[in-house]
Structure 1
Amino acid sequence: MQFNRGNKDDTFLLNLYKRLLYPRMVEEKMLKLLRQGRIGKWFSGIGQEAIAVGSTLAMQSDEYILPMHRNLGVFTTRDISLKKLMAQWQGKATGFTKGRDRSFHFGTQDYKIIGMISHLGPQMALADGIALADVLAGKQKATLVYTGEGATSEGDFHEAVNVAAVWNLPVIFLIENNGYGLSTPKSEQFRCKNLVDKAIGYGLEGRQIDGNNILEVYDTIHQLANEIRKDPRPILLECLTFRMRGHEEASGTKYVPQELFDEWEKKDPLSNYENFLIEQQILTADSIIDIRAKIKKDIELEVEEAFDEPEPEVDASQEEYDMYFPYEQKVVEPNQASTEKRYLDAITDGLDLAMQKYPNLVLMGQDIADYGGAFKITDGFTAKYGKNRVRNTPICESAIVGAGLGLSINGYKAVVEMQFADFVTVGFNQIVNNLAKTHYRWAEKADVVVRMPTGAGTGAGPFHSQSNEAWFTKTPGLKVVYPAFPEDAKGLLLAAIEDPNPVIYFEHKYLYRSLTTAVPDGYFTTEIGKAVKLADGNKFSIITYGLGVHWALDYLKNNPESEATLLDLRTLQPWDKEAVRTAVKSTGKVLILHEDTLTNGFGAEISAWIGEHCFQHLDAPIMRCASLDTAIPMNKALEDGFLAKARLAETIEKLLKY
């Protein structure tokens, strides 16, 4: 291994050695603790330390790094104390996640490190959003994100790299090619000769370096980071290295040929660099002993102190509270002046006002810029706000949701448009595992709204018509709103954008141009979590939302003798339990109506809650009226037969017979 010291002085080179040695000695201590049964799991990065240490030192201290779970050197080089890290690994109350997540699955704004989630790859899209925020703010900063050779096969890798290339984002995508994805060798993972060869397919620069040569790692990343700060663009950097331990210690290494261990042992980053410093007369045998003795003493002390840190206290109310960023909505009351607006135009108005109020708000979605979106909701926005803030995206829902989270982490707000709510499946992981869990895991907000054009009635068939709100109402950490009227569409959208928590905003496509009502002018918000009573009767109660509200209103108009209470939930997470309780008590008979399919639709949750909390007020079984448990057909007659509206009258008649 050849080292080129360049103009680095002895002090710098010695510091680099200590930085490299420290995580190795921590790892060796962890392996002893594992054998002693004092810790339960360890993901070893022995043999790969040069990448973590060299790359971290090459970045500025206020630039974000997004590592993986074998990159201990990133954390130690950013000077996070071992005691704090150990408390995290042991699930202590003083760890970064307060015992809620394992190993390096956390982030910390204090050290500008954003850890990964277990699903490989999503952190790369976050890096895009972080870098985009820097570009929009006019900051000359670079972002560094790690991934492994196995994750380069994932869609998240493709999407994130492609977005960065299209948007010229200053991101270094560092592939840590250690030869194996758990037990699967690289020969069974990809056919290209080198992973860096993938760069040309995205139209970006690629470099391959010896990941075990700490000076080569440092110099390369230092140079690249300097370049892309001034000339923003992404870089694909492949670092060749080898994992000398198992995927985690329990998995062992029997699947690795011994000759590979023999070959890579000669390339050990620590011993090679140590020998180089001895040759340079910077280290001696005695100084090495002294350095190791001091590090060992510090490690022993901090490890034992961490074992004595307190365990988390079990507090159910605190756990539930911490799913969301602390926020108390202050409702902005509407003006008396109003204008007749279509449902679609109310959404446009809300977005327009939000863009004026929040200069740090970015809209992202397919075709939303000059074209104005599939439904023309953002038509004209680029002329007013520019393409930096109204951004066309490639077809990559996962990367754009992840970029939204990255924007939030770096001080921005994001509204992400799904062209159709059905397409959210491609970005599902980012929503339910990243957006929803981020605050609970490490107390960071996820200031992202996902707009979801939803619902049937337009003959759009199985892939453009689903009511999929129940996928999200069961996911703690998300808020879910579903307006039925233009006024609520505007007020709830503005409230969602104000809220620093992730909000899934359902907007019904059928109502876009078919429903026009008076909408208050100017800026106002509607309370999230508050239902509204639209009709007051004493025979039975209809609890519904979305298009179901209009089906119910039509029924009551055509059957004035019904004398029903009609409750529009408007928000599904959190939902207004007290309004539901009041409706149940006032009539004793309840019909829950929604467009979604019957089985496991959101109505099932409302029904279960009423049965548990309001049973004494019921005079009849709770009834649900929902769409068929099938996919949504395209044909008009079939679609009408599918929808809950087809069974509304008969279900009400059945309820009233009790």
Structure 2
Amino acid sequence: MKSNIKYKKTKLSTTTKIALYKTMLKPRLIEEKMLILLRQGKISKWFSGIGQEAISVGVTMAMQAEEYILPMHRNLGVFTTREIPLYRLFSQWQGKANGFTKGRDRSFHFGTQEFNIVGMISHLGPQFGVADGIALASKLKNKNQVTAVFTGEGGTSEGDIHEALNVASVWQLPVLFCIENNGYGLSTPTKEQYNCENLADRALGYGMESHIIDGNNILEVYTKISEITESIRKKPRPVLIEFKTFRMRGHEEASGTKYVPQDLMDQWAEKDPIENYRLHLLTEGVLTEKEDAIFKAEIKAEIDTHLDKTNAEEVIVSTESNELNDVYKDFEYQNIEESSNTNELRLIDAIHEGLKQSMEKHDDLVIMGQDIAEYGGVFKITDGFVEAFGKDRVRNTPICESAIIETAMGLSIAGIKSIVELQFSDFVTSGFNPVVNYLAKSHYRWNQNADVVLRMPCGAGVAAGPFHSQTNEAWFTKTPGLKVVYPAFPKDAKGLLATAINDPNPVLFFEHKALYRSIRQEVPTDYFTIPFGKAATLKQGTDITIIAYGQAVHWALNTLEKHKDISADVIDLRSLQPLDTETIYASTKKTGRVIILQEDSLFGGIASDISALIMENCFESLDAPVKRVASLETPIPFINHLEDQYLARDKFEDELLALLAY
């Protein structure tokens, strides 16, 4: 038999040619074994890469061991080429302890710093943005390294992909973007996915180099990718590769392939990358049938040995405390006392000063956001930062919240802290997926923290309407893995921001726009920290407990100024996640009455959870029902008198007096 793939002559050594064959053969034989185990119910799901091994293997062999690769469902060859012990992969697929996710995620939804691999999440698109971040770190550290990232042709329809390609081009990041065009996104053919001849053609719109490669030809994949990666190391830039290939099995095994015309299956079966390369090596005299049989026997023996080890492994056992403790990376808070020297600062000035001092303390800390460089941000908080720290560390971004948040995640994977300024907290919706599904879950899933602070200018009181005035903290306080901070005073803002940047976990730092220039306070001039999870008791009394945060704290204080006869504990939460329940419960047990004031609308807000916690833990101490006071159940209107009607500010006084009279 002759090969159905035409292989060009290369200068590759016999050793390399044989290595390419053996390295492709290994994932194929593993897959064949896994398909048997799937039918036996010994693994739960399988996404087959049969027919696409040349891409995973060729790209990985062209990369250097210390360079990161971000694979997808069908890239088993990436993991085996990086020589991850098979029993660890098998344990991962069986949800056992020797895997990489402690039974918390499946298949290839994991990463490993040991092997410089960052696995996927099911949302697909974020992989490209995370690759941007890892590549940015390489560029900032002058490592001359390439980051390779994979997706399928279906994934390219996602907006995250577009954003990441655009950022990589604008910033000239050394990323190898690999699209495995295998004909179908689950059952949807390419003609229903995009309306251009080649996906590589899209690169022109990004000002990016691109190449089309026969993804079933291992020699073409390996030699061309070797040339391209070497070129990128010398001249950092993004390159888009479209690999033409085919998926010989279903999207996952349960899907089947009935939707694929049989003649198309037959056509691609003749282009099998392993069988054709085997025939080529036999024809060239590089491989003998005896050697081939030996290779297969050795790999099968290795598979069986490692499967036996995995099968002998006990079922994974955990405890509630183990699970809870792994949601966040350990953070040893270091209390840095405030100095006696102070200046009177507005909230906005305190944030500016805190950011600047943290940029000085952490000499590789990067801040990214729209218009934050020369312009200084729309609120001028980063004014002068470019002159102080340079454009590598103070980075204007395109309008692409998802890609920038994903870039921040990539920086964290590469060991660099970052801050992302959302121009308005409302705009985080454009990057919601990476916040709640990538940043929040990575440490729990595979022990990779997201050392990222998202700065969130928020809130009403500035007549900015429904898209610039929301206070949307409740979207995030209910997401395990995120920390949420919401200061009401300049001093707290500066100290808590320093802690947020020191904390290796993802922190959403809410900054109320209406307080930026309206609140002044004496603030220590030097760098200092304030711990999370410690509320501030602003007033002490015996009649009632008032709990609030952000702008609502000032509404409460202003109301008490009008009623000096009311003896109240006023608790400024400051930190919403973690929450200082100790202070809340102690005050409740002292006063017997609690009113919770929030700017957000009522249903589903954090006041509801605090009320429930008090009812569950302090019920016998209460002399009246816990009262929640919040804004209307409508979007925030624009014009002043409608905004005033919307806000909880003016109804608080009546509710406070009514509760005291209960």
Give the shorter-chain TM-score range. Answer: over 0.9
Q: What does residue 538 of structure 1 align with?
A: 542
Q: Which amino acid aligns with 1:583?
A: S
CA distance in 1, matches of 2:582, 2:76: 49
Q: What does residue 404 of structure 1 align with?
A: 408
Are positions 1:325 and 2:345 aligned together? no
Q: What does residue 103 of structure 2 align with?
A: 99
Question: What do residues 588-610 of structure 1 show as CA deviations (whole Å, max 9, x unaligned)?
Answer: 00000010000011100100100
Q: Which runs of 5+ in 2 are unaligned?
A: none
Aligned-partner SS, 2:115: coil
Are positions 1:169 and 2:173 aligned together? yes
Aligned-partner SS, 2:545: strand
Counterpart contact for 2:42–2:94, Cα < 8 Å: no
Q: What does residue 569 of structure 1 align with?
A: 573
Aligned-partner SS, 1:459: coil
Are positions 1:588 and 2:592 aligned together? yes
Are positions 1:334 and 2:361 aligned together? no
Aligned residue among 21, 26, 32 for 2:25: 21
Q: What does residue 623 of structure 1 align with?
A: 627
Q: What does residue 253 of structure 2 align with?
A: 249
Are positions 1:302 and 2:306 aligned together? yes
Q: How far apart are 1:312 and its partner, in Å?
A: 2.0
Q: Which amino acid aligns with 1:197?
A: D
Are positions 1:377 and 2:377 aligned together? no
Counterpart contact for 2:124–2:155, Cα < 8 Å: yes
Question: What do residues 415-464 of structure 1 show as CA deviations (whole Å, max 9, x unaligned)?
Answer: 00100000000100100000000100111111000000000000000000
Aligned 1:625-640 pairs, distance under 5 A: 625-640=629-644
CA distance in 1, matches of 2:15, 2:8: 16
CA distance in 2, matches of 1:311, 1:337: 58
Q: Which amino acid aligns with 2:128?
A: M
CA distance in 1, matches of 2:54, 2:238: 22
Counterpart contact for 1:94–1:310, Cα < 8 Å: no
Q: What does residue 77 of structure 1 align with?
A: 81
Are positions 1:51 and 2:55 aligned together? yes
CA distance in 2, matches of 1:311, 1:498: 37
Question: What do residues 235-265 of structure 1 show as CA deviations (whole Å, max 9, x unaligned)?
Answer: 0100000000000001100000001111101
Aligned residue among 155, 158, 165 for 2:162: 158
CA distance in 2, matches of 1:545, 1:239: 53
Aligned 1:480-559 pairs, distance under 5 A: 480-559=484-563
Q: What does residue 311 of structure 1 align with?
A: 315
Are positions 1:262 and 2:266 aligned together? yes
Aligned residue among 36, 44, 69 for 2:40: 36
User: Could you tell me the percent identity over the aligned residues?
Assistant: 59
Question: What do residues 101-140 of structure 1 show as CA deviations (whole Å, max 9, x unaligned)?
Answer: 0000000000000001010110110000000001111111
Q: How far apart are 1:314 and its partner, in Å?
A: 3.0
CA distance in 2, matches of 1:460, 1:398: 23
Q: Which amino acid aligns with 2:38?
A: L
CA distance in 2, matches of 1:583, 1:563: 12
Q: How far apart are 1:38 and its partner, in Å?
A: 2.1
Q: Which amino acid aligns with 1:471?
A: W
Aligned-partner SS, 1:110: helix
Q: What does residue 7 of structure 2 align with?
A: 3
CA distance in 1, matches of 2:41, 2:152: 29
CA distance in 2, matches of 1:2, 1:519: 72
Question: What is the TM-score with the length of structure 1 in the denominator?
Answer: 0.99
Counterpart contact for 2:43–2:94, Cα < 8 Å: yes
Q: Which amino acid aligns with 2:467?
A: F
Are positions 1:343 and 2:341 aligned together? no
Counterpart contact for 2:27–2:80, Cα < 8 Å: yes
CA distance in 2, matches of 1:70, 1:646: 58
CA distance in 2, matches of 1:390, 1:37: 52
CA distance in 1, matches of 2:39, 2:652: 65
Q: Which amino acid aligns with 2:99?
A: G
Q: How far apart are 1:506 and its partner, in Å?
A: 0.2
Q: Which amino acid aligns with 1:350?
A: G
CA distance in 1, matches of 2:340, 2:98: 51
CA distance in 2, matches of 1:519, 1:581: 29
Aligned-partner SS, 2:56: helix
Q: How far apart are 1:2 and its partner, in Å?
A: 1.8
Q: How far apart are 1:338 and its partner, in Å?
A: 0.3
Q: Which runs of 5+ in 1 are unaligned?
A: none
Are positions 1:62 and 2:66 aligned together? yes
Q: How far apart are 1:5 and its partner, in Å?
A: 4.4
CA distance in 2, matches of 1:312, 1:39: 15
Are positions 1:450 and 2:454 aligned together? yes
The Cα RMSD (Å) is 0.7
Q: What does residue 236 of structure 2 align with?
A: 232
Aligned residue among 432, 441, 462 for 1:428: 432
Counterpart contact for 1:148–1:176, Cα < 8 Å: yes
Q: Which amino acid aligns with 1:128?
A: D
Aligned residue among 416, 420, 444 for 2:420: 416
Aligned-partner SS, 2:620: helix
Q: How far apart are 1:616 and its partner, in Å?
A: 1.0
Q: What does residue 295 of structure 2 align with?
A: 291
Q: Which amino acid aligns with 1:169?
A: L
Q: How far apart are 1:310 and its partner, in Å?
A: 2.3
CA distance in 2, matches of 1:453, 1:622: 30
